[in-house]
Amino acid sequence: MLIKITPDKTKHLIQNVINEFSTFALFQELIIFALLHIIRFILMTKFSGFIPSKLPSIGTSIFATMSQLANEHKAINLSQGFPDFDCSDKLKELVHHYIKKGFNQYAPMPGIMPLREIIAEKTEFCYGAKFNPNTEITVTAGATEALYAAISAFVREGDEVIVFEPAYDSYVPAILLNGGTPIYGSLSGKDFRINWDETQKMVNQRTRMIIINSPHNPTGSTLSAEDMKRLEKITKNTNIIILSDEVYEHIIFDKKEHQSICRFPKLAERSLVVSSFGKTFHTTGWKMGYVLAPENLTSEFRKSHQFVVFAVNTPIQYAVADFLKERDSYVNLPDFYQQKRDYFINAVKGSRFNLVPSSGTYFQLLDYSRISMEKEEDFAIRLTKEYKVAAIPVSVFYHGKTENNILRFCFAKGEETMDKAAEILCGI
């Protein structure tokens, strides 16, 4: 049979082919679309586990490592930076009282007013400086939170922050997490002083912050009035903020006066001053501290603080506010710890360790270069395992693990503990 191909039929045929083809193309597109979604779904739900670390060089802290080692080897633990004695019974009773009275809900974001008021009074009594409790004082969850909130409030991507090494271990991770760049100065000489000429050269347009710490962990050094004058000169005509870690403000020896930033109005106007009741009241586990700063800095600080922790333990704030009314609680602290420092240094005098003078904090550095030239971490581990005394290698407070043959010992311990440790150290 002959099929007659008419123009109409041809047109129809072509139309059919096009329709078939486009249905097929549409079908193909649908399959590709579905496959892509399935792959995406699989990729999204399957956790690869490879998330690049924001802090690649930070591992388990040496403090945890040394304490664990001390436990394993039943060593006397002078590595831990906290007292082995209890806080005042009165303070404990006050906390108990406020818990029982029902002060158990959120506190106001900046801290309860009675505590901020008594902090203002204490600051004026100690340093002659006035801070407004309403706008210039914030209660924090320990100094650690204060330091983090301060750094996150002010340090941006690309900002430089000057840190002096050996440095307390929380500064640099907080700078890095907020995109800043730590610029390292070093504390030099036997008394671990800041080299201000070197510091001056480190300052530039990108410098956002300088962090200082006095009395200083781990070295026990303290800043003098002269140091503060140099800092004033360096920061003059700049937009640099100072973060002053003064958690050991009341642990200072030999009748030295603590040179708080608060004493220097030109520095105070650009500073956040951090303190901790953990150190002052032997309550490190309560994580209670505060920040003093002028209103403009405080309002920025609080923006960060309210999203890090919002508010701080309510009953403890009320208890501390009452307890602070008795000035003895901090006025007698220098003598209390000086007696402990002297006890410890007398006990280890006959050893082959060399004492590095400590003028504040509850830490004493001992130089072991007459005993060994091992690396600090190795020596600290051997001291714990073989001799049963645990201490902290100072090299861990440097980003480049600088070696000085020095270990940090904590003397916030009872006399019996110090006697036992000293006996061992004298026999090495």
Q: Does 81 bind ligand PMP (CB under 6 A)?
A: yes
Question: Residue 288 CB, nearest distance to ligand PMP (Å)?
Answer: 7
State which residue, 392 or 424, has the beta carbon closest to ligand PMP. 392
Nearer to ligand PMP, 284 or 358 (CB): 284
* Beta partners for residue 274, in sequence order: 245, 291
* 8 A C-beta contact, residue 183 and residue 160: yes
The residue range among 3-11, 119-127, 136-144, 381-389 that interacts with ligand PMP, by the rule CB under 6 A, is 136-144
Report yes or no: 376 and 405 within 8 Å, Cβ to Cβ. Answer: yes
* E strand or H helix at 139: strand 137-140
CB contact set of 358 (below 8 Å; sequence gap of 6+): 219, 220, 221, 253, 341, 364, 365
| Residue 77 found at the interface with ligand PMP (CB under 6 A) | no
CB closer to ligand PMP out of 86 and 378: 86
Q: Which residues pair with 212 in a beta bridge?
A: 244
Q: Does 67 bind ligand PMP (CB under 6 A)?
A: no
Among the listed residues 264, 255, 206, 189, the one whose alpha carbon sits nearest the alpha carbon of residue 230: 264
204 burial type by CB count under 10 A (0-12 exposed, 13-18 middle, 19+ buried): exposed
Question: What pairs with residue 187 in β-bridges?
Answer: 194
By CB under 6 A, residue 315 contacts ligand PMP: no
Shortest Å, Cβ 40 to ligand PMP? 44
Question: CB within 8 A of 250, min separation 6: which ones?
Answer: 258, 279, 280, 330, 333, 334
Q: Is the dihedral of CA 418, 419, 424, 428 positive or negative?
A: positive
Taking residues 155 to 174 in sequence order and writing x for each that binds ligand PMP by CB under 6 A, - otherwise, the string is -------------x------
Among 83, 110, 133, 142, binds ligand PMP (CB under 6 A): 142
Region of 164 please: left (phi>0), alpha (psi -120 to 50) or beta: beta
Binding-site member from 65, 144, 314, 405 for ligand PMP (CB under 6 A): 144
According to the binding rule CB under 6 A, does residue 235 interact with ligand PMP?
no
Q: Please, which residue, 144 or 313, has the CB nearer to ligand PMP?
A: 144
* Span 277-296, contacts to ligand PMP by CB under 6 A: 278, 284, 287, 289
In the complex, the smallest distance separating the C-beta of residue 277 from ligand PMP, rounded to whole angstroms, is 7
C-alpha torsion 402→406→411→416, nearest 10: 140
Q: Closest separation between CB of residue 176 and ligand PMP, Å?
A: 17
**133 or 142, CB closer to ligand PMP?**
142
Q: Does 276 bind ligand PMP (CB under 6 A)?
A: yes
Q: Which is nearer to ligand PMP, 160 or 249 (CB)?
A: 249
Angle, CA of 356, 357 and 361, to the nearest 5°:
110
Joined together, the tokens standing for residue 289 give 């501290």
171 vs 344, beta carbon nearer ligand PMP: 171
Nearer to ligand PMP, 278 or 315 (CB): 278
Sites of contact with ligand PMP (CB under 6 A): 81, 142-144, 168, 213, 217, 245, 247, 276, 278, 284, 287, 289
